């Protein structure tokens, strides 16, 4: 097994630069023009794109816009009622995810506005949307998307900012995002070192559980996916309150439980940490809440930022762990096991459209 070409690590390394370049350009203008007067907003995506949408829902709702996030298959196969004044934000890194494209092309969408976030503006999704928010860097080469996830969040936050201004609401500005660039670089430097240690310690761990609340539910989902994609790690993601309602019963001694909780929301996180430690899991707190850090076995402090911006930082230590864990297991983190014929064939089959009426 090769060690890979370093594509995932390179994508992660680009993230501070993305933050440094944040501006109030096309995304904010699109948000003001399309979402500023919208009645409702639907967000659709699959996988990492869906999780970005989950994080962005909080930003759009803070802008005063009722927002629903749906997995693209569910949206295309079982579409909600569509009416004038509805808007759609469709997210796909390639712009070719069939169910996302099908969602943008639903018959009822002709009466409403579609904005696409994609890395390929000339893709089928791009040509199906009124406005396209593209990343000039193009398609990210590693199969596990890291840079593109953060880029999607930045474009979506820009659109939410424009919608908020059009609606007379406040939202974090681009200057606040740019101010995260240096802290993100420092966090990554610390996280790579910590990830080396954690990967060696947990190379054979049976399961990693990532637990989050609010916008950090998206971080938990994205982290669990990256651990699975890059490192072939059994990983689950739990909403922080639901973690206390039965999901914990499958926890085994020695598993790793990661808790993400925004500052000011530590009560639920504290209960979950105490419970998981009592069962025998190793606990890891990531975030800006010193109370949780003091209660966990391991801690990664993150600068205090508005909750809407926290996912831009809290995912970074987990990206580093996924990449380092793959290396510790002798896997190529860039390719999602596509060097194994049966996994490559399975991916080709499962990436076909599943939604009713959109096969092929």
Cβ atoms of residues 120 and 138 within 8 Å: yes
pLDDT of residue 83: 86
Mutual orientation of helices 48-62 and 147-166 as an angle, nearest 10°? 20
In CATH terms, are 7-178 and 181-328 the same topology? yes
Residue 239, phi then psi, degrees to nearest 5: -70, 145
Q: What is the mean pLDDT of each run of 10 residues along the chain (360 residues)?
A: 76 98 92 94 97 98 97 94 92 95 86 90 95 93 96 98 96 95 98 97 96 96 98 96 90 95 78 94 93 92 93 98 97 91 87 53
- The closest of 247, 249, 223, 224 to 234, measured between CA atoms, is 224
pLDDT for the residue 262: 67
Nearest CA to 148 out of 69, 209, 95 is that of 95
- Which CATH topology does 181-328 take? Rossmann fold (3.40.50)
CA dist., res. 180 & res. 186, Å (int): 10
Residue that is written with structure tokens 């800006």 in the block: 288
Q: Which residues contact 123 (CB under 8 A, 6 or more apart)?
A: 92, 94, 95, 96
Whole-model pTM above 0.85? yes
Which sequence spans correspond to the domains of the chain?
A: 7-178, 181-328
- What per-residue confidence (pLDDT) applies to 110? 66
Cα(52)–Cα(46) distance, integer angstroms: 9
- Whole-number Å distance between alpha carbons of 36 and 38: 6
CA atoms lying within 13 Å on the CB side of residue 38: 33
pLDDT at 4: 63
Name the CATH topology of 7-178: Rossmann fold (3.40.50)
CA dihedral 342, 343, 349, 350 (to 10 degrees): 150
Predicted local distance difference test score (pLDDT) of residue 38: 94
Closest alpha carbon to 63 in 308, 265, 310? 308
Max intra-chain CA distance, the chain: 55
Q: What is the pLDDT of residue 108?
A: 75
């Amino acid at each position: 097994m090769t060690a890979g070409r370093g594509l995932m690590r390179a994508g992660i390394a680009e993230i501070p630069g993305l933050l440094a370049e944040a501006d109030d350009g096309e995304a904010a203008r699109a948000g003001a023009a399309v979402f500023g007067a919208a009645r409702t907003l639907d967000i659709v995506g699959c996988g990492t794109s869906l999780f970005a949408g989950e994080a962005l829902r909080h930003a759009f709702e803070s802008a005063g816009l009722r927002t629903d996030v749906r997995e693209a298959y569910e949206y295309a196969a079982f579409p909600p009622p569509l009416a004038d004044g509805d808007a759609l934000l469709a997210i796909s890194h390639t712009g070719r995810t069939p169910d996302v494209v099908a969602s943008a092309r639903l018959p009822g969408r002709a009466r409403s506005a579609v904005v696409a976030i994609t890395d390929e503006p000339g893709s089928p999704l791009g040509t199906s949307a009124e406005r396209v928010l593209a990343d000039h860097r193009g398609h990210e080469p590693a199969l596990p998307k890291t840079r593109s996830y953060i880029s999607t969040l930045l474009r979506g936050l820009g659109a939410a900012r424009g919608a908020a201004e059009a609606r007379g609401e406040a939202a974090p500005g681009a200057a606040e995002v740019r101010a995260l660039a240096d802290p993100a670089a420092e966090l990554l430097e610390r996280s790579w070192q910590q990830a080396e240690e954690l990967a060696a310690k947990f190379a054979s761990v049976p399961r990693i559980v990532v637990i989050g609340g609010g916008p950090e539910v998206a971080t938990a989902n994205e982290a669990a996916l990256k651990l699975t994609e890059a490192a072939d790690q059994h990983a689950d993601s739990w909403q922080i309150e639901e973690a206390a309602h039965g999901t914990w019963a499958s926890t085994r001694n020695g598993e790793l439980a990661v808790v993400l909780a925004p500052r000011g929301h530590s009560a639920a996180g504290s209960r979950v940490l105490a419970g998981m430690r009592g069962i025998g899991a190793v606990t890891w707190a990531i975030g800006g809440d010193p109370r949780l850090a003091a209660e966990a076995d391991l801690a990664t402090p993150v600068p205090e930022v508005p909750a809407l911006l926290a996912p831009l930082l809290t995912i970074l230590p987990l990206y580093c762990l996924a990449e380092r864990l793959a290396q510790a297991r002798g896997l190529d983190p860039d390719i999602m096991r596509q060097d194994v014929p049966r996994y490559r064939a399975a991916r080709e089959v499962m990436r076909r459209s599943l939604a009713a009426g959109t096969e092929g």
